[in-house]
Amino acid sequence: MVDKDRVEGSAEQAKGSMKEGAGKLTGDEKMQAEGKAEKAGGKVQNAAGSAKDSARDALGKGQG
């Protein structure tokens, strides 16, 4: 089972990428910076979810 943080992190990365692209397209540096920040936050959230998945898998294997 995939951790909720991985799903939300991936969505945040996608949202940030779109926002960054829109900022580049329109020349809006603030929007571009916000998009980059959202992308970075999504990567962190995704990594946290991945760590939770790994820990859950390790615990599950120890019980079997």
pLDDT of residue 60: 82
Give the pLDDT confidence of 16-29 residue by residue, as tens digits: 999 999 999 999 99
Q: What is the pLDDT of residues 26-42, one digit of tens each?
A: 999 999 999 999 999 99
Is residue 62 scored above 70 in pLDDT? no
Locate the domains of the chain by residue range.
Answer: 4-59
Overall pTM surpassing 0.75 (yes/no): yes
Q: What is the dihedral of CA 47, 48, 51, 55, to 10 degrees?
A: -160
**pLDDT of residue 64 exceeding 60:** no
DSSP label at residue 3: -
